[in-house]
A and B are shown apart, each in its own frame.
Chain A
Amino acid sequence: MAVGSDGRGLRVVGKPVRKVDGLSKCAGVTLFADDIVLPRMLFCKLHRAPVPHARIVRVDISKAARMPGVMAVLTGKDLPIPFGILPVSQDEHALCLDKVRFVGDPVAAVAAVDEDTAFDAMNAIEVEYEPLDAMMSIEEAIRKPSPRIHEYGDEGNIHKKIALEFGDVERGFHDADQVFEDTFYYEGSTHLPMEQHAAVAAVDPDGKLTVWSSTQTPHYVHRALAKVLNMPPARIRVIACPNGGGFGGKSDPFNHEIVVAKLSLLIGRPVKVTLTREEVFYCHRGRHPVLMQIKTGVTRDGAIKAMHFKSYLDGGGYGSYGVASTYYTGALQTVTYPVENYKFDGLRCFTNKPPCGPKRGHGTPQPRFALEVHLDKIAERLGIDPAALRLGHLVPPQSLTANYLRVGSMGLAKCIDAVVEGSGWKQKFRHLPSGKGIGLACSSYICGAGLPIYWNNMPHTGVQLKLDRGGGVAVFCGEIDIGQGSDTVLAQVVAEVLGIDPYDIRIVFGDTDLTPVDLGSYSSRVTLMMGNAAIQAAERARELLATAVSEKLGIPAERVGFGGGQVFDVEGPERALSFADAVVAAEARFGTIGTVGSYTPPPSAARYKGSGVGPSPAYSYSAAVVELDVDPRTGWVRVDRVHLAHDVGRCINPVLVVGQVEGSVYMGLGEALMEEQVFRANRGGVHRQPSLLEYKSPTTMEMPDVVTYIIEDPDPNGPFGAKEVGQGPLLPIAPAVVNAVYDAVGVRIDEVPVTPEKILKALDSPAKRFGPKGVPEVRWPDPIRVPTPWEGGTGRAAADRRPAEARR
């Protein structure tokens, strides 16, 4: 279509269109999963383990089962088939079978006529445990290979070990003018969506099962239900309800969804479960705590000759997305600044805590934090301004990185320029009075994973259009709006192509019976993938309408234009049909008007084992400048202002883009300054503070001004050039805060959250630093060696795998 790179010619895309689901949310009429009430509905509660690691000796449900009003009690043996989001980590059971792996692991479930009865019955279940030694930290899990938390995994309590080398880092270090090494720690945190998870299951008289759930991934829930319930998928319908926030915390299939489905099938009545806030802390799948070591060889002007990055992830009790998370801690270091030779060693431990998984930024905020603070230190040592250091070494657009990620549009230079200029960086950096600081950091994120979670060669998303004789357009897509605005993006894209009002469009979403598969609202994939599929479906409909209208008006089809609810002759717009009349003409000509579109990402250039994580159709870019005050007497940090520039490719809706940026800044500040998902190792491994009050997350009072700069560098793979904005802007926040703290009071806080206590300790220490001392000794596997593109590599691993030991 005739759209300039500046976006001229667009009528709906790029406009601050009110969210299509906004009014119903404001009026309180949106039905979230917990709002669903069905006749004869029962209530479910889960009995959860009070111990972190133990063998289940005996589960006595007799008292609970006898209680009046209790309709059924389930234990692990009722649901013996394992599941898990990744095919390589099918390690969860809906109810624990033979052992429990963290405080909060569900062991039994009850369904009763009301919540009070279910609560009493849940507490009447008695379980006898044989305690096992619990692993409560990365170091402990590496040090103690037994007892094993799982019987699978690379060794002992190490779930996964990865070693990849692109080029030759030893040669790179040798060629470098200087080599720097740092160690960092990033504490775990949880998503904290306002809406607790809830699910309702109901069975039709003919045995068909429907499950409503607050899930980001209805398709994967559908697959897990079919597997664990051992039922044909065609008999199961999963309906994703609008999510009251997800942030990655509703991306796994969950035990409670399977349990209510099973209970409903057993009893024949609808069953609902709504988790308490504490139980949401146990579902978790949040940010992995990661210990990191980074060693970088640079030239005098700051070009990176070699980088060796090591990460150690605390995975919690189950696999979840963890293998992917581990790869992500090593994948995206290369897409901002060229890394000539790159080596990544990563491992993930099992520990006796709620499982970690994908939280906004999935596996990349931690390494990005390390990399951007490390670069700040390098810039200082080299005597180069940190903004200039980065601007001088940017990955060129349309290029391949050392690990074969294909970068398309690359607007980081514009992002850096925007925040540097907007914040008055040059006047402020290292010139502010003591106690005031300014810090900069950059980042990049994927726009959808290049590969699906389970191997298949089908599209990642599909969109169907049904055009009504009255001019209405129904759009069917398996996407689910988690608050990010995907319904609105879908309506805007279709409205743009068909030249109609987005409010004349009805969106039918997230329903495995009614909508084509979309893999879900994760990995920042929806706008790019769904948007492309929607364009394809809408263009196919437009073609039918254009043909019919061209015949009606007696003009060539190429001269038919769409806009303002009219289908017209572009050389004489007064010759026009209303959109509704155009649909009538098309239906008369072709029959019922329905079209489809789908999207599959382009094939990746990376062909080595482990290359499934990292490739993406496009990469977004962000730069942040944080301005803050530090009180050197108390260590207290107050953030005054955050400048954030984000290269979104093409902004489809500026209000939604700014909303995602501000939300990311908020969440990033929470991780940078206070949030901690932590446990009491010496008190039976309980979560320290599983409540909204005591798990500290910022309030509006802590929220600084945010200045957002929308940078548009259209990507050829994006719909109208659009890239993601839901996750990327979170990534530079923590490192920018830490760099600003250094500018303010001269101490390096090499771990988040940055608390006042840590700042005072750093101020008191000779090294003026607070952070981890080192990393555990680990025998890494021989790396998979992949020659870089500039070494003439093909994206495949080299045949030889040199022994790691011999190369020391």
Chain B
Amino acid sequence: MMRLPRFRYHAPATLGEAAAILQGEGSQAMVVAGGTDLYPNMKRRHQTPKTLIGLRKIDALRGVKGSPARGLWIGPATILTDLEESALVREHYPGLYEAIHSISTPILRNMGTIGGNICLDTRCNYYNQNYEWRRAINFCMKCDGDTCWVAPGSDVCLAVSSSDTAPILCAFGARIQLVSKKGTRTIEAKDLYRRDGIDYLTKRSDEILAGITLPPAARWRSSYRKLRRREAFDFPVLGVAACVRFDGEIVAEARLWLGAVSMAPVEAAEAQAALVGRRLTEETIEEAARLAYPLAKPVDNTDFGLRWRKEMTRHFVREALLEVGPPGSPSGRGN
């Protein structure tokens, strides 16, 4: 069987303690919550931290607080199942519920956390392989090697942002709290990500994800559509997150984000702009889909062929917006 490399494990009870250990150990250390992404990666020698800091004992990193009117605070070490079962999330942030519900399998959602999904390592068919396989291709840019085998001319790693929650949190305008020994800072979810498959997070290695805040849900409707081979187990090869705020029948604000088509979530700005000030009709939806899909530039490093994946973007943007529907449509799409 595949074995974990050796590491030291710390289980601090407070966030301050965890930040202090992380600071002290330097870049050889990593934090772990559910471990559903990190441990398999360690078995494949993608990451071989000398020290792991477990976050499971830190109560302050768990739970859901707030209300739809004030907005929600979500502890990053909250397991995905608990969020899936939260009526607050399900009724008022349906797009987030759908994204979480679509992650992996029920069993892994019992272990995996939302913080883990937000920070999910980028994925690539040339990277998510074991050590011996990667040695056969002389390794790749993302780990132990120099070349990007997806596009050997590329000087940037093209591994795919495969988080289901990332695009919907960007679309909701969620804010992310980062805590380190040096202090706390809060950034927009969209500013957490970087279009670089290796350095895909702007989070510093001494920082711990400490909280996620969602803005008030009033008048926002949302949806998340995911393309994958199977209805369980699979990472997205495309995720479409849509959040729309209505003023009567008219779209006051629209946010459309594409996941799993690049190294970071991609904002479909032109499509958003095309919706604002108009009704959500088949025509406006079609136009938004037409404007959004050229942004998807899939490369050959996930399941399915890239041309088809690009074509599906148009289709899935349409579906996501249809699902959001105009206000009053009986879809349970939020407020």
Contact = CB atoms under 8 A, between A and B. Distances in A.
Contact of B125 (A633, A674, A689): A689
A614 B61 CA distance: 65
Given A683-B149, A686-B137, A278 B232 contact: no
Interface stretch (B177-185, B258-266, B300-308): B300-308
B230 A701 contact: yes
Contacts of A690: 129, 133
Contacts of A684: 136-137
A669 to B, nearest CB: 12
Contact of A50 (B6, B135, B231, B307): B135
A118 B292 CA distance: 51
A633 to B, nearest CB: 6
Given A115-B1, A274-B1, A686-B137, A757 B308 contact: yes
Range for the number of chain B residues in contact with chain A: 20 to 34
A699 B232 CA distance: 7
Interface in B290-328: 303-305, 307-308, 311-312, 315
A688 B302 CA distance: 10
B230 A50 contact: no
B155 interface: no
Contacts of B232: 699-701
B130 interface: yes
Contact of B133 (A116, A687, A760): A687
Given A276-B130, A634-B315, A696 B135 contact: no
Contacts, number: 72
Interface in A674-704: 674, 683-684, 686-691, 693-694, 696, 698-702
A565 interface: no
Contact of A634 (B1, B137, B312): B312
B8 interface: no
B312 A693 contact: no
A658 B3 CA distance: 38
A447 interface: no
B278 interface: no
Interface in B107-133: 125-126, 128-133
B9 interface: no
**Residue from A196, A674, A757 whose CB has the most chain B CB atoms within 10 Å:** A757
Contact of A278 (B133, B304, B315): B133
A48 interface: yes
A755 B230 CA distance: 12
A760 B130 contact: no
A699 B133 contact: no
A123 interface: yes
B7 interface: no
Contacts of A687: 133
Contacts of B57: none
A114 to B, nearest CB: 9
B1 A51 contact: no
A51 B136 contact: yes
A199 B128 CA distance: 28
A278 B230 contact: no
A756 interface: yes
B70 interface: no
Interface string B130-158: 11110111000000000001000000000
Interface in B229-284: 229-234
B69 interface: no
B50 to A, nearest CB: 16
B323 to A, nearest CB: 16
Nearest to A114: B3
Contact of B315 (A115, A633, A694): A633
B132 A50 contact: yes
A394 B2 CA distance: 52
Nearest to B1: A274
Interface in A559-574: none
Contact of A694 (B125, B135, B149): B125
B230 A686 contact: no
Interface in A275-309: 276, 278
Interface in A439-471: none
Contacts of B135: 50
Interface residues of A, number: 36
B2 A276 contact: yes
A634 B315 CA distance: 8
Contacts of B129: 278, 690-691
A690 B125 CA distance: 10
B144 to A, nearest CB: 12
B197 to A, nearest CB: 17
A180 interface: no
Contacts of B131: 123
A425 interface: no
A103 interface: yes
A119 interface: yes
Contacts of B125: 688-689, 694
Nearest to B4: A116
Contacts of B308: 635, 756-757, 760
A276 B1 contact: yes
Given A698-B230, A702-B231, A683 B137 contact: yes
Nearest to A633: B315
A686 B1 CA distance: 20
A683 B130 CA distance: 16
Contacts of B136: 50-51, 103, 684, 686
A204 B132 CA distance: 35
A760 B231 contact: no
A696 B133 contact: no
B132 A48 contact: yes
B3 A699 contact: no
Interface string A44-69: 00001011000000000000000000
Nearest to A688: B125
B59 to A, nearest CB: 32
Nearest to A51: B136
Contact of B231 (A278, A686, A694, A701): A701
Contacts of B137: 683-684, 686
A274 B233 CA distance: 25
A634 B237 CA distance: 14
Contacts of A48: 132
Contacts of A689: 125
Nearest to A700: B232
A278 B128 CA distance: 12
Contacts of A702: 230-231
A119 B312 contact: no
A103 B130 CA distance: 13
Interface in A615-636: 633-635
A602 to B, nearest CB: 46
A696 B303 CA distance: 9
Contacts of A116: 3, 6
Nearest to B231: A701
**Residue from B128, B133, B231 whose CB has the most chain A CB atoms within 10 Å:** B133
A683 B133 CA distance: 11
Contacts of B3: 115-116, 119
Nearest to A123: B131
Contacts of A756: 304, 308
Nearest to B312: A634
Interface string A264-278: 000000000010101
A291 B247 CA distance: 60
Interface in A717-762: 755-757, 760
Nearest to B40: A693
A757 B309 CA distance: 9
Nearest to A631: B315
7 contacts: A48-B132, A116-B3, A634-B315, A688-B125, A694-B303, A696-B229, A702-B230
Interface of A: 48, 50-51, 103, 115-116, 119, 123, 196, 274, 276, 278, 633-635, 674, 683-684, 686-691, 693-694, 696, 698-702, 755-757, 760
Given A50-B132, A634-B315, A696-B303, 6 more contacts: A276-B130, A278-B133, A674-B229, A693-B233, A698-B230, A699-B233
